[in-house]
Amino acid sequence: MINSELKRLQKIENRVYEIARENGLLFGDIEFDIVPKEKMFEIMAYGMPGQISNWKYGRDYEKTRTIYEKMGTGLPYEVVVHTNPSRAYLMKDNTIAVQSLILSHVVGHVAFFTMNQNFIEADSDIASRLSIASQRFEEYERTYGIDIVEKTIDAGHSIMLHSNPWLKEETEDDKLKRIFEKMKKRKHDKTNTEYS
């Protein structure tokens, strides 16, 4: 992107923020990076900066790169990472019109992170925690050997999509209160025409 396009995008970004706030969206700071496709392959494979070392990420990188090179697909216009501040990686090859739409889309992602019940307990400082974990796993490799550590990581990866570490158990009282509120809301939402 040339400087004039970047300046134009900054103006659009500011206007997107205004409109989002006017419509009641809550969101924190967002850092935008415009990256080439090679960097996007890496982001797609590793997911988060500071990730632990594992063969899976190299495999995913090559898979994404191959699909893109052979079919011309497989890369998103953007990737948004839930950190503090949030990070948004935008494809360098996007046109100015696409980048403009993506700015709004990114604000929607970040507002979702901020306002959604499931993200309230999520750790937005995950990048620094991953960096510390990566150093710890390097120490494990030196102590126990790469094979043992790799088997442990593979076991963790096999169940990672089947759990939610931030989900808190709902107490029976909380559950009853939630159900009661939902029933009360439904009762008040019904119109008189329904009973005519």
Report the number of distinct structural domains present in the chain.
1
Residues in a beta bridge with 86: 30
Residue 26 placed within a domain: yes
Residue 190 has pLDDT above 60, yes or no: no
Residue 192 placed within a domain: no
Residue 76 placed within a domain: yes
Average pLDDT, the chain: 87
- Going by C-alpha positions, the residue among 86, 89, 62, 91 that lies closest to residue 75 is 91
- Which residues span the domain enclosing 77? 3-168
Residue 173 placed within a domain: no
C-alpha to C-alpha distance for 3 and 81, rounded to whole angstroms: 25
Using pLDDT thresholds of 50, 70 and 90, give the confidence band for residue 165.
Answer: low
What is the value of pTM for the model shown?
Answer: 0.72
Strand pairing class (30-35; 78-81) = unpaired
Contact 107, 149 (CB under 8 A): no
